Amino acid sequence: MANSVTRVHLAPAVSAAGNHLRHPALVRVTHWVTTLAFLALLVSGVEILISHPRFYWGETGNVSTTPLFIIPIPASRVIVPTGYGYVLPDQNGWSRKLHFESAWVAVLAGLLYAAYGFLGGHFRRNLLPSASEMSPKALAGDLGRHLRFQPPREEDARSYNTLQRLSYLAVIFVLFPLVVWTGLAMSPGLVSAIPAIVTVWGGQQTARTLHFFLSVLLVIFLVVHVLMVMHAGFRKRVGAMITGRAGRGGEGT
């Protein structure tokens, strides 16, 4: 009962038509801009990976250096030993430009969202769990519902559950800043101006390796997020992220 009251308290206001304003306009805009930027980063990042699918630890790494691990795929450069008898077309030029430009779009959208989240109270109202929701019993209940793929409840249409809030907070305040930081640590121009960006990681190759694993975690989050949206009702959930409205009876995201 206390958990239900807390959710109603955190839910946005109800419009005259009986719909709940689930997602403010700025949240929706930055969500879709970040989504498009992330997809561009993913495509261009894969192309960059193909040019040298070997990872190292420390400051330097090349084909003459023992790698930390190897991605077992063909490369797009003939000088990279992969064990395959052919190389893929080299797309390194456009992919690096797209990766760089998309990264700045994602960073700017993220900064705008963060400013709104702090100044407008979005994080406090909609993402920060209450003490009762962080209790072991409440967390176990939410986890059990997810593992059993139970259908969403009516209050879930108007408020994130605790697991959603914790995962969003982890992405916003941990994964996203770290993937940006490690990405910037591979920029020669920026590193020459601020060496501490890369020295804190122990070298550019270490930053590249960490950047890869952080990106994999973001992809896993994206896949799970999409699967949960589909399970809860794809049209209703995506519709709410477009219009911002969550109607009665769970019609929203």
Band of residue 242 on the pLDDT scale cut at 50, 70, 90: confident
Same domain, 97 and 208: no
Same domain, 108 and 163: no
Segments forming the whole domain that contains residue 49: 25-123
Tokens describing residue 48: 């960059």
The region of weakest confidence among 4-13, 25-34, 47-56, 69-78 is: 4-13
| pLDDT tens by residue, 119-166 | 998 898 888 887 777 777 777 776 666 555 555 555 555 567 777 888
Q: Which residues pair with 247 in a beta bridge?
A: 251
Would 19 be classed as within a structural domain?
Answer: no
Q: How many domains does the chain have?
A: 2
**What gap in Å lies between CA 106 and CA 102, rounded to an integer?**
6
Helix-helix angle 176-184:92-119, to 10 degrees: 140
CA angle 199, 207, 165 (to 5 degrees): 115
Would 100 be classed as within a structural domain?
Answer: yes
Same domain, 82 and 164: no
| pLDDT tens by residue, 203-231 | 999 999 999 999 999 999 999 888 888 87
Same domain, 133 and 250: yes
Same domain, 134 and 248: yes
Position 72 pLDDT exceeds 80: yes
Same domain, 207 and 241: yes
Average confidence (pLDDT) over 179-183: 95
The whole-model pTM stands at: 0.81
Residue that is last in its domain, among 106, 123, 140: 123
Same domain, 163 and 240: yes
Same domain, 51 and 79: yes
Same domain, 160 and 118: no
Would 222 be classed as within a structural domain?
Answer: yes
- Distance between the two ends of the chain, CA-based, in angstroms? 22
Q: Which residues pair with 14 in a beta bridge?
A: 20
Same domain, 110 and 177: no
CB 175 within 8 A of CB 218: yes
pLDDT of residue 143: 66
Same domain, 79 and 168: no
Would 2 be classed as within a structural domain?
Answer: no
pLDDT of residue 8: 36
**What gap in Å lies between CA 44 and CA 71, rounded to an integer?**
17
Would 15 be classed as within a structural domain?
Answer: no
Same domain, 142 and 250: yes
Phi-psi region of 221 (alpha: psi -120 to 50; beta: other; left: phi over 0): alpha
Would 8 be classed as within a structural domain?
Answer: no
pLDDT of residue 105: 97
